[in-house]
């Protein structure tokens, strides 16, 4: 694997992680949908999606005035394993809660 630090840094930001969780269903999602679900402005969402795209986690396509995002189908297996582990960990209840 190449340096995992940029990937881990991208996953560490809550808005990016929330967007990735939405995309993890395997579908294609309009940026307008991500903005609505995450209550983010267009500029904020664009910046976060650019960060996910820069580390190769997502791909996009223009659809008229909107941009649609989906998981990168060519994501390397080692990187997919990291993201799968993060998604699985997020789905587990907090065992340390008192």
Q: What percent of the chain has pLDDT over 90?
A: 79
Residue 91 pLDDT > 90? no
Q: Average pLDDT over the chain, rounded to whole?
A: 90
Nearest-angstrom CA–CA distance, 42 and 68: 13
Residue 96 pLDDT > 90? no
At the top level of CATH, which class does the domain 5-91 belong to?
A: mainly alpha
Own/partner contacts of 65-70, CB < 8 Å, gap of 24 or more, are: 66/30, 66/31, 66/32, 67/30, 67/31, 68/28, 68/29, 68/30, 68/31, 69/19, 69/23, 69/28, 69/29, 69/31, 69/34, 70/23, 70/26, 70/27, 70/28, 70/29
């Amino acid at each position: 694997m190449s340096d995992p630090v940029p990937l881990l840094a991208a996953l560490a930001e809550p808005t990016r992680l929330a967007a990735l969780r939405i995309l993890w269903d395997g579908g294609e999602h309009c940026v307008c949908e991500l903005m609505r679900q995450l209550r983010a402005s267009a500029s904020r969402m664009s910046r976060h999606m650019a960060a996910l795209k820069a580390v190769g986690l997502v791909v996009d396509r223009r659809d008229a005035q909107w941009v649609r995002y989906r998981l990168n189908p060519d994501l390397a297996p080692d990187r997919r394993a990291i993201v799968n582990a993060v998604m699985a960990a997020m789905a587990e209840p907090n065992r340390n809660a008192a």
